[in-house]
């Protein structure tokens, strides 16, 4: 199980690296001047590739996490409320990932209506989610 846990951690860290940088590309896309087509196209290409790569990292992260959950039997019995909270946050991370994909599709279709300031705030969400998840896993407060 230590191999599974190690792989889970590596894939989670890698997935979050993508979730930290993809919204930053969206900030830059929101700042591109309308006449800068080459810059827009370059950023869209980068965002598409990063989204695809991050998705490929998310799948094993989630699968190894499920394997750990089922293999260790974590979450059954008293004192495991932390896991339920963590799983809820993981669902939020998955939703955030999906929202990044949706926002990218809006940029591709020239339908973005949000400012770069909004994207700067949006960019902070995965940091907060990761912090909460790590605290829940390490401290197990409830």
**Rounded to whole angstroms, how far apart are CA atoms 40 and 29?**
6
Quote the pLDDT of residue 51.
Answer: 98
What pTM value is reported for the model?
Answer: 0.94
Q: Which helix (H) or strand (E) holds 31?
A: helix 2-31
Number of residues assigned to the chain: 142
Structural domains of the chain, count: 1
How many angstroms from the chain centroid is the CA of residue 8? 14
Report the candidate in 91, 63, 74, 75 with the shortest Cα–Cα distance to residue 4.
63
Per-residue pLDDT of the chain (142 residues; tens, 9 = 90+): 899 999 999 999 999 999 999 999 999 999 999 999 999 999 999 999 999 999 999 999 999 999 998 887 666 667 788 988 999 999 999 999 999 999 999 999 999 999 999 999 999 999 999 999 999 999 999 8
Its domain, for residue 126, covers 2-139
């Amino acid at each position: 199980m230590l191999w599974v846990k190690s792989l889970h951690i590596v894939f989670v860290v890698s997935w979050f690296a993508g979730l930290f940088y993809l919204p930053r590309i969206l900030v830059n896309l929101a700042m591109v001047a309308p006449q800068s087509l080459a810059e827009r196209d370059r950023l869209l290409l980068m965002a598409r590739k990063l989204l695809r790569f991050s998705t490929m990292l998310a799948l094993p992260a989630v699968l190894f996490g499920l394997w750990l959950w089922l293999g260790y039997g974590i979450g059954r019995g008293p004192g495991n409320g932390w896991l339920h909270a963590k799983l809820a946050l993981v669902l939020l991370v998955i939703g955030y990932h999906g929202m990044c994909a949706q926002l990218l599709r809006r940029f591709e279709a020239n339908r973005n209506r949000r400012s770069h300031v909004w994207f700067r705030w949006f960019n902070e969400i995965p940091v907060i989610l990761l912090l909460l998840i790590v605290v829940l896993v390490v401290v197990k407060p409830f």
